[in-house]
Amino acid sequence: MINNHKTAFELVASPVGRQQRGFLSLPNDNIVKTIGVATLLCLVCSIIVAVSATVLKPKQVENKLLDKKTNILLVAGLTDGSKSVDERFAKIESIVIDMNSGMVQQDMDGNAYDQRKASRDPERSTVLPREQDVAVIKRRANLANVYLFKEEDRLKKIILPIKGYGLWSTMYGFIALESDAKTVSGITFYEHGETPGLGGEIENKKWQAGWQGKQVVDESGEVALEVIKGSITDATSDPEYKVDGLAGATLTSKGVSNTIAFWLGANGFGPYLATLRQQGSEATKQDDTAMETEATLEETVNTLIDQDESIVDQSTSEPDSDGIL
């Protein structure tokens, strides 16, 4: 007890103790005490926030990557819930392409390349002149991520990242095309700041389903796909190039049309898609020639068999030298 008293006395008697006692004994409405307590509180809070941000950063990065993979799988139609995201994503080939030439960068790992980061880097991106910048994105990365879904080495889906300005925000998404590089297989938007219930309906799965089977380019190769005002009816001309508009969100709808026009056009993935279409039509031609050759061969073989059979028939029906059959 005496010891405790001594300790308390010593504490209070010390210079720091005197200072603390002086500070704490100040009335609560004292300006120095108010500012002091507020500063201390701010300091403690900022330390907690800074530590949390640092500790949680790797988890955030991991979750963002998982979300990106989930969206790519979703748009590719790989939604088998019995397998993990990573298991399903193993079927996707990540490549990097040069936006100007459309050439695949064979020496680059698609999983390690971050197009969004590159588009903010002046050394790895290009400022778009106003007349080309229909999606209002200001800069475009020189290299882009492309995701391919293949089965037994045959290309099934081409998944392309897209982004463009709506009414309030830049909308980020993916569009998947069938192997012909012309037909839409799916679309998804995973990040935007449009109004929920209006422009935010770009996330609506029912609206997104309306994109399936739509044609991106017309016969001349120009991007023709667009979101219209209102809904498609029997009277709508060329419905294969049109998607229902979002009710009460004409400006967001217009932003989506502009996004498609840019990314599937000449300043976006156009050169790469043109190469794929060319390769596709050459492969079809080769398939046709192979089928024709196969048919000719079959015909020749059948003719030879027929000839052979008639020779056998003749030899068996010919009388021998004695005139006995």
Ligand X SMILES: Cc1cc2nc3c(=O)[nH]c(=O)nc-3n(C[C@H](O)[C@H](O)[C@H](O)COP(=O)(O)O)c2cc1C
Residue 200 C-beta: closest distance to ligand X, Å: 6
CA 174 to centroid of chain Cα atoms: 3
Distance linking the first and last C-alpha atoms of the chain: 139
Site map (CB under 6 A) of ligand X, residues 178-217, x = contact:
----------------xx--xx------------------
Residue 166 C-beta: closest distance to ligand X, Å: 6
**Nearer to ligand X by C-beta: 195 or 275?**
195
Query: In this structure, what token pair is assigned to residue 162?
Result: 């897209």
**Nearer to ligand X by C-beta: 252 or 267?**
252
Query: In this structure, what token pair is assigned to residue 251?
Result: 């400006």
Residues touching ligand X: how many (CB under 6 A)?
Answer: 11
**Nearer to ligand X by C-beta: 108 or 228?**
228
Q: Is 169 in the site for ligand X (CB under 6 A)?
A: no
**Nearer to ligand X by C-beta: 6 or 229?**
229
Residue 237 C-beta: closest distance to ligand X, Å: 21
Q: Is 133 in the site for ligand X (CB under 6 A)?
A: no
- Contacts of ligand X in 218-277 (CB under 6 A): 248-252
**Nearer to ligand X by C-beta: 104 or 247?**
247
Q: Is 170 in the site for ligand X (CB under 6 A)?
A: no
Residue 121 C-beta: closest distance to ligand X, Å: 30
CA distance 245 to 252: 9
Nearest to 174 by CA among 155, 157, 190, 198: 190
Residue 168 C-beta: closest distance to ligand X, Å: 6
What value, to the nearest 5°, has the Cα angle with vertex 28 and ends 24 and 33?
Answer: 60
Q: Is 164 in the site for ligand X (CB under 6 A)?
A: no
The residues of the shown chain that bind ligand X, judged by CB under 6 A, are 167-168, 194-195, 198-199, 248-252
